[in-house]
Amino acid sequence: MHIENSSHSKQLQQCRLYFAAGEFSQLNEILLPLLDKKVPEALLTKADFLMQQDANKGIGFLLQLAGENIAMANYKMAMLLYFHPELTLDFNTYLEQAYKEQELPAIITCVYLAYADKRTDFAQSLLLAHAEFDEIRSLIAALGLGVDNKKIQYIKPDYQAFKRADHSQKHLKYINKDISLATSDHFLNTFECAWLKCRSQASLEPSMVVNAVTGDKIQSPVRTNQFSQLVPTLSDWILLDVEQRIAKLIGLPMSHGEISNMLYYQQGNEYKAHYDFFHPKDPGSELAMQDGGQRVRTVLCYLSPATEGGETYFPRIDEKLDGHAGQLIVFDNVSKQLAPLPLSLHQSLPVISGEKWLLSKWFRLNETSYKTNLIELNL
């Protein structure tokens, strides 16, 4: 489920590249004609550029677009305010308008916030009320609700009741101190697990490993599952909220993260014993560490475990984690002195039956190129 469909998207992506490079004359050649036509995506892109140059001007322009009901402007304003609580405006008002405009990301966000607030009946009623959208139907199926469920009655939205979810009770339970192996149960709720699976299904491809000699990514029998990179866009309010919570829980900035990966294992798939750190003696490590340095920490979130098999196993400390839906696992790959931790050797055991879904997130010592994605989304 990836709601990003614009005939102008390639042109606007080129504009972003020109903006980052400071090539403003080339940027204007593409952007100005689109602005003259009042193309909504171009207007929102201008708001992003203004925000990176002068936050007040950018916010003011976005407020103007929201007041004119430019497509996705109210949703974008709501998202900005949600992730920046230091701003004094209330995100609910803008989310309400985007919902009333039947903007799909706004509808899904309302469902998400209702689930996070444990208003499950309300959340499910919103889903069933918008089953005309293919993406919503996919979520309904993933949640096992059934499109024609007559037991769920429609509940009219109370927009002012939407609030930031309280995750203050989330904590880590430590299992092994040598690699700081820890878990957090119920870190993700049922809806988040379903949404993340739907978000990635269409873009799954064979998984890769890093070649120790060249630093390139290659296919290998060591790793036989599929994966999908989750590059965040404006529609990814949920993904960004999950990533922000992960970063807060483990005590590292979001900007130190790599792009999140979705991992999918079918029967017989596995990932043999491996390390996530880049070994200093491997010729390819220098290239691999150019973007953010060493991989210091690994986070895995179970969306759904296999029926049998598929455990995450640490052979050198003899810890086998079955995992359950919503559970987070975190461990260190290197010591505080950045020495590789041999005890962090781990593997995904072969799936015997069923299928296994994981969200994986690696964190580096320093900021990574992922920061560019966050800046473009005004985070």
What pLDDT, on a 0 to 100 scale, did the predictor assign at position 4? 52
d(CA 369, CA 327) in angstroms, rounded, equals 27
Q: What is the DSSP letter of 249?
A: H
> What pLDDT, in 10s, does the model give residues 286-311?
888 999 999 999 999 999 999 999 99
Please say if the pLDDT value at position 2 is more than 60: no
Tell me the pLDDT of the chain averaged across its residues.
93
The predicted model scores a pTM of 0.93
What pLDDT, on a 0 to 100 scale, did the predictor assign at position 220? 80
> What pLDDT, in 10s, does the model give residues 248-270?
999 999 999 999 999 999 999 99
What pLDDT, on a 0 to 100 scale, did the predictor assign at position 280? 85
Residue with token string 């504009």 = 15
Length of the chain: 379
Residue with token string 């899904």 = 108
Burial per residue of 278-293, b for 16 or more beta-carbon CB atoms within 10 angstroms, e otherwise: beeebebbeebbeebb
What pLDDT, on a 0 to 100 scale, did the predictor assign at position 112? 97
Six-digit token pair at 41? Answer: 């995506």
> What pLDDT, in 10s, does the model give residues 164-211?
877 777 899 999 999 999 999 999 999 999 999 999 999 999 988 777
Provide the 3-class DSSP secondary structure of residue 302.
strand
Q: What are the residue ranges spanned by the domains of the chain? A: 1-71, 173-376
Six-digit token pair at 327? Answer: 């559970």
**Gap between the terminal Cα atoms of the chain:** 22
**243 vs 232, 313, 326, CA distance in Å?**
10, 24, 14
What pLDDT, on a 0 to 100 scale, did the predictor assign at position 156? 76
Task: Answer for the pair 319, 175: CB distance below 8 angstroms, yes or no.
Answer: yes
Residue with token string 């994966």 = 227
Instruction: Name the CATH superfamily housing domain 173-376.
Output: q2cbj1_9rhob like domain (2.60.120.620)
Burial per residue of 94-126, b for 16 or more beta-carbon CB atoms within 10 angstroms, e otherwise: bbbbbbeeebbbbbbbbbbbbbbbebeebbbbb
What pLDDT, on a 0 to 100 scale, did the predictor assign at position 148? 67
> What pLDDT, in 10s, does the model give residues 109-144?
999 999 999 999 999 999 999 999 999 999 999 999
